[in-house]
Structure 1
Amino acid sequence: MSDIPFTLDQLRILKAISSEGSFKRAADSLYVSQPAVSLQVQNLEKQLNVPLFDRGGRRAQLTEAGHLLLSYGEKIISLCQETCRAIEDLQNLQGGTLIVGASQTTGTYLIPRMIGLFRQKYPDVSVQLQVHSTRRTSWAVANGQVDLAIIGGEVPAELQEVLQIIPYADDELALILPAVHTLAREETIHKDDLYKLQFITLDSQSTIRKVIDKVLTCYEIDPKRLKVEMELNSIEAIKNAVQSGLGAAFVSTTAIEKELQMGVLHRAKINEVSIERTLSVIINPNRYRSKAAEAFSKEILPQFSTFRDFQAIDLLCHHQLNIH
């Protein structure tokens, strides 16, 4: 090992500086002093005989050599973490870690309930949930940073041959209106009524927004003619804005059950229009698959494969929690 010119600690520091953008914030995130971080970087550059950072700007910028080392360093760190999880597995689910990834809707409204049931059965397993975009989540699964994930968008083309993509469930996207809106009195509305509404949406690059636009186009509804009043960055913010009378929105039915029961939102049905997307489970079949991940896949995922009725999920969770 003496001929390897870097340590795992140095790779962790390099990754932290790249993520945080400065030596100071990297030191804070690692709970070490800034001089200690600077010294480690200096030693690393001396050992490799190349500069890793361009220190001319305000933000710590990696050089070409720095980017190359970071690319390999992330793979090394990921493999070390995978090794640790494999060793923990020897305890037969009496410990270890399960890392689950998700896109925004499933990560907010569905997977926490799954984790609750899993933790009741395997209380000694530490469970982490990472909620990011479909693209970022897919790369995390591919790199072994996440054991499995549930996503609502398309896996990046470059990863479709790497990952195993398993269709999991249909997720219906409903049109919601303020409870006092004039159209809330109608049993159904016509698709031309959509052009009269002011919409609140996620940004144009979001997975849900792309799915909605694609499906609307199939029904001969022009998404460009919809009046977008504002773009927000979370489903909760969108629901609150609609509830406050600021506009209408398309959101997953899994996100609005409680608001519908309370009568603070109205779900408007569009005549002969149904907007759905397919959720998928993704795994990397070429990475180590922990016993915790296997147990989660076989024992928890099948119970939630149809989750349109959130009240049914609540009853399932309540029943399971009482059993344990």
Structure 2
Amino acid sequence: MDRPLESNHIRSRVIPSDVFPAWVFPPVLLDRFSSSQPAVSLQIQALERELACTLFERRGPQIRLTQAGQALLEIALPLVDGIDSIGEDFASELGQLDSGEINIAAGESTILYLLPEPVKAFAEAYPGIRIKLHNVTGQDGMAMLRADNADFAVGSMLEVPDDVVYHPIVNYKTMLITPLGHLLAQKKPGRLRLKDIGPYGLILPPRHLATWRIVDTVFRQHNVNYSVTLEAGGWEVIKKYVELGLGISIVTDICLTGSEDVSKVSLQRFFPDRSYGVVVRKKKYLSAAIRQFLEILAPGIIDVFSPETGHEQNRHHQIKLYNQTTLCTFQTPQRTLNMRWFPCFTSVTVVQEYFSARQRQQFKFYRVAC
């Protein structure tokens, strides 16, 4: 695209329309709108009068959302996120997705073993999209999702909080790895018992990570004692120390590439398969770049996520703002684009303003119901 869409400019020009007033957004979003506090406060007061309800509790300089205000905020946030991605979504429709950024939170094992091929495929298909991989633990990844510092997370989850959606995409088995020639390596999987493992020192990831919790739970369930002689961060480190004969370990076979000098015995009899999947904050708007990456990572996953994240629901909500009428339709040489992709534009003229002269020549603008 010759000229990128400026989302802040769109907000200031389009959102204060009769169709979708700017004062639907509370002051906590002030920095995202580049508006002044007094102006937004007046708009909030006008909205409170129109809705006949209180959106904020005001106690001196402190402002707190009421229950009604929180409900309105949950509706507003995805719409704001959608505005941020208007240019990106439009470019995707034209097959011109050549700018944008994706922030992915993931642990070391996911980054090393699960993401390389999808990242490579996406980078080759969309070289203009920046990918940021944040190597974080599960708790830190959740914090990034909630703060909107990560678009989504990829990893394994034992417990799924109420404010996120987790969709598993692949399962891995649990394996015992030992040095070559170890006594336990000579046992067949069907004859290996947990109490056979107990006397040998385990090398495990740090206690605060999920692997330790899983191992501890399974051994406790079977009333078997075990000992940890070495804590090490990262599967590559653990495999190296097992190769050196410093202990044995219980790992998820996501980390086993076949190049390790270790013996492997399945522990599927005792440990459930470990799922790895995608975690998205509920009501998170999924930009075109995010959707394309997720489709490469797990084809069909968008069909699963859209209702849960509110992505499709938000589109329907935006259409209802216009009494379910199509405002404008754009016809391109490839396809016809419905106005639902531009929910905050209220006239053909406003839409045309944000595209270059060359781009405008590629479209036929039809005024359907404005």
The alignment's TM-score, normalised by the length of structure 1, stands at 0.60
Q: Is the 8 A contact 2:175 2:267 kept in 1?
A: no
Counterpart CA distance in 2 for 1:108 and 1:283 is 21
Gaps of 5+ in 2: 1-26, 32-78, 302-370
Moved more, 271-280 or 160-169: 271-280
String of CA shifts for 1:90-138, please: whole Å, max 9, x gaps: 4332111112221232122111221112112222211111121111111
**Cα deviation, residue 80, structure 1:** 10
Give 1:140 deviation, angstroms.
1.2
2 CA distance for matches of 1:200 and 1:226? 11
Shift of 1:296: 1.5
**In structure 1, what is the Cα distance between the partners aligned to 2:233 and 2:183?**
27
Is 1:161 the counterpart of 2:162? The answer is: yes
The 1-side partners of 2:114 and 2:268 are apart by: 28
Question: Structure 1 pair 106/152, CA: closer, same or farther in 2 (3 Å)?
Answer: same
Alignment-derived partner of residue 111 in structure 1: 115
Deviation at 1:190, TM superposition (A): 2.3
Note the aligned Cα RMSD (angstroms).
3.0
Counterpart of 2:179 in structure 1 is 178
Residues 271/164 of structure 1: CA separation in 2 closer, same or farther (3 Å cut)? closer
Choose which of 202, 217, 224 in structure 2 pairs with 1:214: 217
Q: Give the secondary structure class of the aligned counterpart of 1:164.
A: strand
SS across alignment from 1:105 = helix
* Aligned counterparts of 2:277 and 2:133: Cα–Cα separation in 1: 16
Closer/same/farther in 2, CA of residues 269 and 127 from structure 1, 3 Å limit: same
Question: Would you say the 8 A contact 1:171–1:278 is kept in 2?
Answer: yes
CA separation of 1:154 and 1:191: change in aligned 2, threshold 3 A = closer
SS in 1 for 2:169: strand
Partner of 2:198: helix, strand, or coil?
A: helix
Contact 1:173/1:252 (8 A) holds in 2? yes
Q: In the alignment, is residue 131 of structure 1 matched against residue 135 of structure 2?
A: yes
Q: Distance in 1 between matches of 2:165 and 2:268?
A: 37
Tell me what 1:294 maps to.
291
What is the distance in 2 between the residues matched to 1:212 and 1:143? 31
Percentage identity across aligned positions? 20
Q: Which runs of 4+ in 1 moved over 4 A?
A: 79-90
Deviation at residue 88 of structure 1 after TM alignment: 4.5
Q: Please tell me whether the aligned partners of residues 166 and 277 of structure 2 are also in contact (alpha carbons under 8 angstroms).
A: yes
Deviation at 1:298, TM superposition (A): 2.2
Shift of 1:301: 1.7
Which residue identity is paired with 1:181? Answer: H
Conserved 8 A contact 2:99-2:129: yes
Can you list the C-alpha shifts for 1:140-160, whole angstroms capped at 9, x where unaligned? 12222111112213457xxx2
- CA distance in 2 between counterparts of 1:200 and 1:279 reads 22
Alignment match of 2:155 (pick from 151, 170, 188): 151
Query: Contact conserved, 1:89 with 1:96, CA < 8 A, in 2?
Result: no
Deviation sequence 1:172-201 (CA, Å, 0-9, x none): 221100113122223232221111211111
More displaced stretch, 105-114 vs 274-283? 274-283
TM-score (norm 2): 0.53
Shift of 1:204: 1.1
Amino acid in the other structure paired with 1:179: L
- Partners of 1:109 and 1:255 within 8 A in 2: yes
Equivalent in the alignment of 1:45: none
Which amino acid is 1:167 matched to? P
Q: Where is the helix percentage greater, Structure 1 or Structure 2?
A: 1
SS of alignment partner, residue 104 of structure 2: strand
Q: Equivalent residue for 1:121?
A: 125
Query: Partners in 1 of 2:174 and 2:199 — Cα distance?
Result: 19
Q: Does the 8 A contact of 2:109 with 2:234 survive in 1?
A: no
Structure 1 unmatched runs, 5+? 9-78, 305-324
Aligned residues: 221
Structure 2 residue identity aligned to 1:197: Y
Q: Give the structure with higher Rg (CA).
A: 2
